[in-house]
Amino acid sequence: MVSKEVTVKSSTGLHARPATLLVKKASSFKSDISIEFDGKKANVKSLIGVLSLGVTKNSTVKVTASGDDEALAAEEVSKLIESLEE
């Protein structure tokens, strides 16, 4: 299991378009990937799950990946979250 703390820089947080990009990226990995925010946890491969967290700009989230490609999955998903800007 690999975990990373990431700060969300997108002005809209993880809503609609950024969340869709995140789900697409996460779905390309075999590993189980989750995101934690404000005491809540969601599967990153679920758009509804990601949106339900209500992640806002400048929030810190914890990305956790577990599985065959966990290191790469956590790294790529974390990079995507950091690069999302609007």
Catalytic residue among 4, 9, 12, 15: 15
The whole model's pTM is what?
Answer: 0.93
Domains of the chain (ranges; CATH) run: 2-83 (3.30.1340.10)
Locate the DSSP E strands across the chain. 2-7, 32-37, 40-43, 60-66
What is d(CA 12, CA 14) in angstroms, rounded to the nearest whole number? Answer: 6
Q: Which residues of 62-75 are buried (b: 16+ CB within 10 A; e: fewer)?
A: ebbbeeeebeebbe
pLDDT at 76: 97
Reported as a single tens digit per residue, the pLDDT across 11-51 is 999 999 999 999 999 999 999 999 999 999 999 999 999 99
> In which band, very low, low, confident or very high, does the pLDDT at 84 lie, cut at 50, 70 and 90?
confident
Residue 15 among the catalytic residues: yes
pLDDT at 24: 97
What is d(CA 36, CA 61) in angstroms, rounded to the nearest whole number? Answer: 6
Reported as a single tens digit per residue, the pLDDT across 63-73 is 999 999 999 99
Q: Which two tokens stand for residue 83?
A: 């690069």
